[in-house]
Amino acid sequence: MRKNAFTSFCSKLIGVSLFLTGCSVAHEPCRSIDNKHPICGTSRPEDIARIPGQPLLIISEMGDPLNHLTPGGLSLLNTNTNTFTPLDPYTINTTRDNSDHRWGDPLCSTSPPVILSPHGIHLSARSDDRMQLLVINHGSREAVEYFEVSQIGDTITVTWKGCVNPTPATFLNNIVSLSNGGFIASQAYDYDAFSIGALNIELIKGVLGWDTGYLFEWNTAQGFTKIPGSNGPFVNGVAISDDEESVYATYYMGDEVRKIHRSSGERLATMTIPQPDNLTWTTDGQLLVASHQGYLVEKLLCLLTAESACTFQFGIYTLDADSLNSTEIINHKGYPMGGVTVATQLDSSLYLGSYSGDRVMRIPFPKHHVNKLENTYE
């Protein structure tokens, strides 16, 4: 049985924090403030994937971060109507076409997960142009789940196609697909590591800035391969260049974004960003990264709710894909939403998600920057 040191540690610390500080979780009505427009009706929308050519976003709705056996789900956000349609384990089409080969690892389970508690997701086109959704699942199994996304008329369907058991990784965070049918994923830390009382030793190492995780690649021909040069404290978001030669990763406890050569591990560029989270691409080839800028206590308090809004301070940065030169385009604290984990561009808007709360927030893609940083890495 997997140990739940993270749950025990956070629960005790949150309990103390409630007596020592004001709460950063606000029971805020779903109302717009200036150009910030919340869209309510979801739950813990930690990651967002855009369906090309459609006004539709797939939302990864985390379960309870303190109890991985609490189901989450997938939902579809129609940005024209501002409505969410559930694609949870009870509505996902799990009937597999027996004439078609399975996706993922043939040795993985032949059945969909009993509990889906998603984290990072990635949508891409396979070599035959079928749409593939990769989902990191912490629920009834720690696995990468493969889904096919199809459209029949105005209806989007999601069909389970297979999975990969990421042994020896024990706590995955984010993922990006590869053209060979495989993927690159981030192992944040060892969930099953030795604990001192309620404290997982890896959590302690991460807070101290020591390496806890890495990136790894998987494909059917070679299985698992660790990406050289990718070790770091709490590896989080991941993205890949069009030629699949450069990998981008965020190191949450290291306040860093790296560009790494996929095969050699050479560090091609680096940029300091406060506690960077998920990475996405803009339509003009820049990277977007969400940055947490609140206090640790605030972040832990936001683990408690799937309702209303988390309000701690965050930033959104654009990064040049070559140099990682960064521009902070958003910096916000408070209503109608904070604690942002991901920013996804759709046309002239950004859609922001969070590991807490009941809403996605839409804002215009800013034309002016808050702060610009030049890369000094050599």
Domain with residue 335: its CATH number is 2.120.10.30
In this structure, is residue 114 part of a structural domain? Answer: yes
Rounded to two decimals, the pTM is 0.89
> Per residue in 167-226, pLDDT tens?
776 789 999 999 999 999 999 888 777 777 656 788 778 888 888 999 999 999 999 999
Quote the distance between the C-alpha of residue 174 and its chain's center: 5
**23-47 exposure pattern, b = at least 16 Cβ within 10 A, e = fewer:** bbbbebeeeeeeebbbbbbbbbbbb
- Would you call 95 helix, strand, or coil by DSSP? coil
In this structure, is residue 287 part of a structural domain? Answer: yes
In this structure, is residue 378 part of a structural domain? Answer: no
311: tokens are: 């309000």
Nearest-angstrom CA–CA distance, 280 and 187: 18
DSSP H or E stretch at residue 174: strand 172-177
18: tokens are: 């409630």
145: tokens are: 């789940």
Q: For residue 141, report the phi and psi dihedrals to the nearest 5 degrees.
A: -155, 150
In this structure, is residue 178 part of a structural domain? Answer: yes
In this structure, is residue 259 part of a structural domain? Answer: yes
Taking a C-beta distance cutoff of 8 angstroms, is the pair 267, 260 a contact?
A: yes
- The residue segments making up the domain with residue 102 are 5-373
In this structure, is residue 16 part of a structural domain? Answer: yes
> How many domains in the chain?
1
> Per residue in 62-86, pLDDT tens?
988 878 788 999 999 999 999 999 9
Which one-letter amino acid corresponds to residue 172?
L
Classify burial at 65, counting beta carbons within 10 Å of its beta carbon; exposed 0-12, middle 13-18, buried 19 or more.
Answer: buried
In this structure, is residue 218 part of a structural domain? Answer: yes
